[in-house]
């Protein structure tokens, strides 16, 4: 079906009618000039991410279902990164004429899966034509509890630096997708071959937002001193925390969590796997700091298995230092190198 058959309001109705409202704080949703929220007694968290065709995604290998899912997830991830819970989202959509109604159904189906997984209500937005490619702009609103919101600025000397999951796989997935696209475009006949590397592709196309980690920390009553999600790359995020907290850091190369598929793919591509993990970006894992005194509590969290509760995959990769000591990585060989932000920055050369 062509989008012009529905027009703006018909399209919005169709795309949003399958989204239920699950949060008490959502008082009025889609269909008025504004949505109405009631956040009595809680802090409101607000974040926004803009995804543009050709810059953030390539529709030749990114299915719209995955794109819808990911565009919601990257926003939820920012709310978790403040130790908050995402509750509502507003979607701005610039629709290129290449797309039909069924394409947008797919995109919204992806958003719906993300909303269901994370208990988020779609509360409004703006839908318009775009002359140049698909534009997705999502603002996510979340709630945080007084005294438990975690900023980038609270890291203290001697704090432990923790990272969830593994790093670099999303970037390797991207390189793999780009490589297979080139092979395909060169008309070499073969379909893309991802056999054995599905994990890398999944990390790129369907990232997780670490709700489970936030819930685990809550369970053991640990509030990190600082936290961020890793969207631009570990180097870039570490420097953000150091700058905002006026501290330095030491991380250990051999402690950085890297999946063996990431390592394998890096070798195949003649890349340094540590650099992929440090600068790759789009992992949407959490980077946070906790006081040294919490080391034992924390160890229990990551090592003891409780029935029915998955064990959180968190690793201590280093510690915070005084600011004048700088931000440095201890290499496998025992040397020290400065951490530099070489991650994703669409506005740099």
Per-residue binder mask for a second copy (CB under 8 A), 327-346, x = binder: ------------------xx
**Site of tokens 């420097």:** 239
Per-residue binder mask for a second copy (CB under 8 A), 53-92, x = binder: xxxx---------------------xx-xx-x---x-xxx
The yes or no reply on residue 41 touching a second copy (CB under 8 A) is yes
CB of 312 to a second copy, least distance (A): 20
C-alpha torsion 179→284→142→214, nearest 10 = 150
- Binding residues among 134-163 for a second copy as defined by CB under 8 A: 135, 137, 139, 141-142, 144, 149, 151-153
Contact by Cβ (8 Å): 3, 105: no
- Binding residues among 208-247 for a second copy as defined by CB under 8 A: 227-229, 244
> What CA–CA distance (Å, rounded) separates 14 from 236?
40
Identify the residue among 64, 93, 242, 327 touching a second copy (CB under 8 A).
Answer: 93
The angle formed by the CA atoms of residues 14, 16 and 20, to the nearest 5 degrees, is: 130
Give Cα 302 to chain centroid, integer Å.
22
Closest CA to 314 of 236, 265, 255, 235: 255
CB of 45 to a second copy, least distance (A): 4
Q: How many CA atoms lie within 13 A of 194 on its CB side?
A: 19
The yes or no reply on residue 102 touching a second copy (CB under 8 A) is no
The yes or no reply on residue 15 touching a second copy (CB under 8 A) is no
Which pair of structure tokens corresponds to residue 333?
Answer: 């060989």
Identify the residue among 16, 23, 47, 262 touching a second copy (CB under 8 A).
Answer: 47
The yes or no reply on residue 43 touching a second copy (CB under 8 A) is yes
Q: Is 338 exposed, middle or buried (0-12, 13-18, 19+ CB in 10 A)?
A: exposed
- Binding residues among 167-196 for a second copy as defined by CB under 8 A: none
Identify the residue among 131, 186, 304, 306 touching a second copy (CB under 8 A).
Answer: 131
Return the number of the residue (305 or 346) whose C-beta is nearest a second copy.
Answer: 346
CB of 330 to a second copy, least distance (A): 26
Give Cα 309 to chain centroid, integer Å.
23
Return the number of the residue (186 or 347) whose C-beta is nearest a second copy.
Answer: 347
CB of 32 to a second copy, least distance (A): 5
**Segment contacting a second copy by CB under 8 A, of 45-53, 164-172, 185-193, 198-206:** 45-53
Identify the residue among 20, 31, 119, 335 touching a second copy (CB under 8 A).
Answer: 31
Instruction: Give 254's DSSP letter.
Output: G
Return the number of the residue (91 or 258) whose C-beta is nearest a second copy.
Answer: 91
Contact by Cβ (8 Å): 160, 289: yes
- Binding residues among 299-328 for a second copy as defined by CB under 8 A: none
The yes or no reply on residue 268 touching a second copy (CB under 8 A) is no
Identify the residue among 6, 109, 113, 275 touching a second copy (CB under 8 A).
Answer: 6
Contact by Cβ (8 Å): 331, 273: no
The continuous run of DSSP H or E covering 229 comes out as strand 226-230
**Site of tokens 């990769």:** 317
Listed in sequence order, the residues at least 6 apart from 290 whose beta carbon sits closer than 8 Å to its beta carbon are 159, 160, 162, 222, 224, 225, 298
CB of 119 to a second copy, least distance (A): 17
């Amino acid at each position: 079906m062509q989008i012009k058959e529905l027009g703006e309001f018909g399209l919005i109705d169709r795309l949003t009618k399958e989204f239920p409202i699950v949060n008490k704080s959502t008082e009025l949703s889609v269909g008025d000039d504004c949505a109405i929220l009631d956040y009595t007694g809680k802090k409101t968290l607000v974040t926004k991410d803009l995804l543009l065709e050709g810059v953030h995604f390539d529709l030749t290998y990114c299915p719209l279902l995955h794109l819808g899912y990911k565009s919601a997830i990257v926003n939820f991830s920012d709310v978790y990164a403040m130790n908050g819970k995402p509750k509502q989202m507003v979607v701005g959509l610039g629709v290129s004429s290449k797309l039909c109604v069924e394409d947008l159904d797919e995109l919204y189906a992806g958003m719906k899966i993300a909303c269901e997984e994370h208990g988020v209500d779609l509360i409004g937005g703006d839908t318009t034509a775009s002359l140049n490619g698909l534009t997705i702009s999502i603002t996510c609103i979340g709630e945080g509890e007084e005294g438990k919101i975690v900023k980038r600025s609270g890291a203290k000397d001697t704090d432990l630096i923790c990272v969830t999951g593994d790093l670099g796989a999303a970037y390797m997935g991207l390189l793999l997708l780009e490589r297979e696209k080139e092979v395909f475009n060169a008309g070499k006949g073969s379909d893309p071959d991802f056999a054995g590397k599905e994990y890398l592709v999944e990390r790129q196309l369907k990232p997780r937002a670490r709700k489970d980690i936030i819930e685990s920390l809550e369970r053991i009553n640990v509030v990190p001193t600082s936290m961020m999600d890793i969207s631009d790359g570990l180097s870039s995020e570490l420097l953000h925390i150091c700058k905002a907290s006026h501290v330095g850091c030491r991380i250990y190369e051999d402690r950085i969590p890297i999946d063996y598929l990431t390592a394998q793919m890096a070798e195949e591509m003649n890349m340094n796997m540590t650099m992929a993990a440090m600068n790759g970006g789009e992992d949407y894992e959490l980077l946070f700091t906790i006081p040294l005194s919490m080391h034992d509590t924390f160890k229990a969290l990551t090592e003891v298995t409780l029935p029915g509760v998955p064990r959180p995959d968190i690793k201590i990769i280093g510690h915070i230092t005084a600011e004048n000591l700088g931000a440095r990585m201890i290499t496998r060989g025992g040397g020290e190198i400065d951490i530099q932000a070489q991650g994703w920055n669409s506005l740099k050369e």
